[in-house]
Amino acid sequence: MKRIIISIAIIAMIAAAGSMAILYIGEANSRLLGQLELVEKAYSEGGDTAREIALLSRSYKSLRRVLGIIADDDDVEELGALISRLLPMLESDCDEFLAECRMIRSAAGKIYSGELPTLDKIL
Indicate the pLDDT class of residue 68, thresholds 50, 70 and 90: confident
Q: Domain limits at 64?
A: 2-122
pTM of the predicted model over 0.85: no
Percent of residues, the chain, with pLDDT higher than 70? 99
CA–CA distance from 31 to each of 1, 45, 55, 106 (Å)? 45, 21, 11, 15
pLDDT tens string 79-113? 999 999 999 998 888 888 889 999 999 999 988 88
CATH number, position 13: 1.20.120
67: Cα separation from own chain's centroid:
7
Decide: 7 and 53 in contact? Cβ < 8 Å: no
Q: Domain count of the chain?
A: 1
Indicate the pLDDT class of residue 120, thresholds 50, 70 and 90: confident
